[in-house]
Structures are given as C-alpha cells and as structure tokens.
C-alpha cells in the first residue's frame, strides 16, 4: 500500500488530504468507532478554528517543551514560505469546504453555525471522494513486521511505504488521546518527553462559603502571571478554577509563576482607594464590599483569598488590584484541554520525519509543543498535519 495515516483527528485528516491530493492511495486507521471525537467535543461550545491576528503575533503563542528544541520549531509552520499555513490559510481551507465563517470581537474565527459537525461531515465527504479509506476500530498495537493493529476482524499488519502518526497527546483519554503509543515509539528509539496538562484548571480547596458560587463565571478581571495578562472569563467550580481566562496563563502558573487577580483592571489604585474609603457604617464586610465592587463573585474571591483583611482603604485597594491566586496545583490530564510533552524535537527532522523510523512522520499533539486555546491549538494541528503529509508525499514521489 502507499500511505498509512494513524489517527483521524484534525492532524491526521489533513495529512490524508494532502497525500490524496498528491495522487497517492491513503488508508486512515482510527482506534475509536468514529473519527475526530475530540474535535467534535471541542466544537460543542463553538468551534474556534483559528485567530485572526498578524502572523508573527500568532506564531509567538506556540511554545516548545522544557528541553528546548533546535529550529525549526512550531512557529516555522506558519511563517516559512514553503510551509505557510497560518490563520488566513485555515480560513481559506474551511471556506473551500463550503463553511461560512465569522470573526468575533476578540479575533477568534468560528463557523457561522458554530458547530464542528457540519465542517467534519463536509471534510470526510471530500476525503471519501478523493479515495481515502477510513478504517475505524483499528487500534495500533505494535511495529513487529509492520504496523500491527487490533481490529474487529482480528489482528492485521500493514506495510505501507510511508506512514503519518497523528494519535494525539494525553488529554481527554476517553476520546482516544491516551498516549498509548508512547511505549511503542520509545522501544523504537524515539525520544518522548513526559506529558503534562496544558490549558487546564487549577485545584482549589474552597471554604464552605464558596459553595454558593460554584458554576459562576468570573468576569471583568485580569489575571497576571510571569508578565502575561489574561482578561478572559473563567469559572469557579467545585474542584477549583477553570475556563479560558485561566487557560491563557495556565502554562506559566503550572511552571511555578505566582499569579494574582486584578478585580478592577479598569480602575487605577487611586480611584479604587477612594471607593474603599466610603464609610462602612453598620454594613457587614460583605455588603460593604458589594457596594464597592458590585459583583458578588468578586466579593467572594476577595473575602476568600484576601485574608488577613486589610484595615484601611489603600490596603483594600492594593489587595483587590493584586489578589493572590491561591491554588493547589494543576488539574490532571483527564480534565485538561490539551497536553504539553510528546515526541522530542531532536527526534524529528524539519519535515517531521522520525529519525529512528525513516518514512514515518508525526503530527499534531504527539509533538512536544503547546499553545493556548483560542484557535491556536487547532491551527497548529492542521499545520503540522499538512507538513507531515507533504513530506510523506514527496517520499512516495521519489520512490
């Protein structure tokens, strides 16, 4: 057979599309009963395809593992002329599938219908029309004599001329990204960095008084960590704190940066101190703070994380402008949106070919990179899938 793609998520499907467009026969093997389950789950609240911002700024949001990596790194997949698959290319690709898009006020790009399923149906139909064969419930289990699979019909072995691995990282294992491929690649001599949660929430041991706020959104704040600032919304949950506003600075906090919350980012210290200087009279502390901050959720956070409570207006204002974000570490991989870690950059060429396994390429979250939510993750998976597919196609053309 010509080309094998293992994994039917965005990276794998993009690799299959590129290979089939180059005229090669492609088989896509997927362990789950249906393709792109994590993609569909991510799109339930609105499929954020990419971010409409200048390419250099977009590329800077991608980071590599703690071990570092030599060039090229993920930024090159958007900026190098031969690779160029950034936000504008993603938008053109989606429109080519007949999907109308719109850009929100924050620059995030969504399908007009918001959901992932129409785009996925159109994409799969185009792949079928190009002759791509999708085999579901085919779980990759080994490399003995070829690529070994457990299938509904028993064990099967495929010996393709090229293969693209796009099995995902280690987050959301119930949707298929369980990192079960790690021992197989390590035994083949491929370096793999340990997975860590990314775009995750943080555990908080709340006092009983916070229970009434579980599920409440925190709006109009700024979280600062390691020079980064997030103005997005986040949520107080029974387990801790979660949501886009947290995810934007999650990597810095996970890696040890101290974080603080500005409960009034649009007010300077002097104006806020004047508000805290209003007479308390016979009001309880909670009711007095409610009059100042307006939002009961902000008041609850100030009372929870602001102890010992200050005794003058300027100290209250300073506390509200830099409230310590107290947590007990990141939530686990099973609750993370994505993962950091994966195949070491030293283990792949600049075309994402595994040095230890010539003719085998890797793409998507299998590689050791991370990026925040907001369209960056999906664009990164599509871009690396395209690079791996192009390189695999060139290998076949030269055979």
Assess whether pLDDT exceeds 90 at residue 86.
no
The contacts of residue 398 (CB under 8 Å, 6+ apart) are none
pLDDT, tens only, 299-314: 999 999 998 888 889 9
pLDDT of 81:
55
In this structure, is residue 330 part of a structural domain?
no
How far CA 381 is from CA of 97, 293, 363, 373, 376, in Å, comes to 18, 41, 7, 12, 9
Same domain, 244 and 366: no
The verdict on whether omega for the bond into residue 245 sits within 30 degrees of 0, i.e. cis, is no
- CATH number of the domain residue 28 falls in: 3.50.50.60
pLDDT above 70: percentage of residues in the chain: 95
Packing angle of the helix pair 376-398, 10-21 (nearest 10 deg): 30
Same domain, 318 and 352: no
In this structure, is residue 110 part of a structural domain?
yes
Same domain, 316 and 347: no
- Domain with 250 in it: 202-324
Same domain, 45 and 182: yes
Which of 324, 346, 377 terminates a domain? The answer is 324
Please list the residues that pair with 225 across neighbouring strands: 228, 259
Band (281; pLDDT cuts 50, 70, 90): confident
Which of 280, 301, 324 terminates a domain? The answer is 324
In this structure, is residue 329 part of a structural domain?
no
Same domain, 250 and 148: no
Structurally, how many domains does the chain consist of? 2
pLDDT, tens only, 49-79: 999 988 888 888 888 765 444 444 555 555 5
In this structure, is residue 20 part of a structural domain?
yes
């Amino acid at each position: 057979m010509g080309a094998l793609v293992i994994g039917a998520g965005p990276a794998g499907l993009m690799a299959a599309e590129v290979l089939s467009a180059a005229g090669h026969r492609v088989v896509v093997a997927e362990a789950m009963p249906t393709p792109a389950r994590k993609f569909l789950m991510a799109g339930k609240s609105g499929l954020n395809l990419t971010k409409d911002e200048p390419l250099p700024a977009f590329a800077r949001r991608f980071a590599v593992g703690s071990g570092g990596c030599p060039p090229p790194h993920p930024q090159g997949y958007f900026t190098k002329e031969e690779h160029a698959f950034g936000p504008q290319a993603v938008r053109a690709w989606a429109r080519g599938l007949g999907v109308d898009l719109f850009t929100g006020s924050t620059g995030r790009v969504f399908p007009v219908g918001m959901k992932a399923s129409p785009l996925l149906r159109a994409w799969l139909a185009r792949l079928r029309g190009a002759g791509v064969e999708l085999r579901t419930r085919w779980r990759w289990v080994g490399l003995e004599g070829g690529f070994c699979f457990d299938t509904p019909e028993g064990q099967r072995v495929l010996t393709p001329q090229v293969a693209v691995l796009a099995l995902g990282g280690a987050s959301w294992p119930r949707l298929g990204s369980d990192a079960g491929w790690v021992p197989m690649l390590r035994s083949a001599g491929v370096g793999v960095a340990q997975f860590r949660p990314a775009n995750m929430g943080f555990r908080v041991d709340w006092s009983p008084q916070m229970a009434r706020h579980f599920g409440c959104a925190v709006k109009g704040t700024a979280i600062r960590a390691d020079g980064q600032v997030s103005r997005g919304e986040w949520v107080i949950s029974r387990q801790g704190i979660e949501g886009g506003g947290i995810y934007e600075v999650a990597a810095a906090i996970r890696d040890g940066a101290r974080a603080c919350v500005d409960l009034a980012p649009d007010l300077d210290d002097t104006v806020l101190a004047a508000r805290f200087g209003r007479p308390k009279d016979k009001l309880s502390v909670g009711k007095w703070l409610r009059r100042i901050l307006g939002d009961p959720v902000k008041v609850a956070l100030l009372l929870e994380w602001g102890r010992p409570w200050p005794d003058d207006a300027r100290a209250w204002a300073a506390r509200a402008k830099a409230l310590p974000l107290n947590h007990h570490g990141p939530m686990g991989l099973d609750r993370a949106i994505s993962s950091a870690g994966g195949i070491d950059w030293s283990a792949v060429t600049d075309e994402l070919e595994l040095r230890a396994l010539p003719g085998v390429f890797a793409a998507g979250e299998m590689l050791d990179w991370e990026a925040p939510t907001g369209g960056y993750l999906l664009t990164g998976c599509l871009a690396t899938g395209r690079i791996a597919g192009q390189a695999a196609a060139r290998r076949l053309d030269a055979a």
